[in-house]
Amino acid sequence: MPLTFAFDVYGTLIDTAGITQSLDRLVGSQAALFSSRWREKQLEYSFRRGLMQDYVDFSVCTREALEYTSNQLNLPINENDKATLLDAYRHLPAFEDTASALKRLNDAGHRLYAFSNGLPDDLESLLSSAGIRDEFLGIVSVHEIRTFKPNPAVYRHFLQRSSTAANQCWLISSNPFDLLGGQSVGLHTAWIQRSQANLFDPWGKTPDLTLASLTELPESVN
């Protein structure tokens, strides 16, 4: 029976550390640290906005996190370079294991969706630039209900938009907070743990699958 797959985008299909190359010319040896701090703050701002019910779109969280990181690390970046970085965030690379795994799932007859905190237009640009947009039936963005993962409402919204029952849906993510959110509404979950240094939150719950690569996914769900 065909299954529905909800793929997280940032950090799961798309490598957010890909921004490091753009940062390298601006902050040199601090590029990797800057990229990591920027991503952490971006997610923190989305969590806080969600809790406060003070929604702004994800691109605002990204921009504000860039501002914070620049100030925190005392690495000034001028406005033109900030604009260039934010544009580069819409053209990040896919992980090496992404394209082949998506194709194999499609060839098996499954239904694939991109499911993200990002804005629809940003996701269209991001997935198209990475060469994987055509693998998806559609894009489901939290912007449609103006809140963020891991609010359970986001996952219920995905089920409604994709016309899918929870027991026929797999959420695929590298982000433990995302998987815990999906579990709260009964989704099957697969954690893509590309590094052993990444740990799952000790909340007494575990994903249905833990995989080192997306390439393991097609056989694991059949």
Active site residues: 8
The Cα 63–Cα 212 span in angstroms is 31
- Strand segments, DSSP code E, in 39-163 are 111-116, 138-141
Answer for the pair 154, 147: CB distance below 8 angstroms, yes or no. yes
Tokens of 16: 């957010």
Q: Which of 214, 177, 179 is nearest to 194 (CA)?
A: 214
Residue 201 bridge partners (DSSP): none
The Cα 25–Cα 15 span in angstroms is 19
For CA atoms 174, 180, 184, 190, give the dihedral sign: positive
Distance of CA 187 to CAs 119, 156, 208, Å? 23, 10, 10
Continuous H helices in the chain: 20-27, 31-52, 58-72, 79-88, 98-107, 120-129, 152-162, 176-183, 217-220
Q: Reduced to 3 states, what is the DSSP secondary structure of residue 82? A: helix
Q: How far apart are the first and last CA of the chain?
A: 9
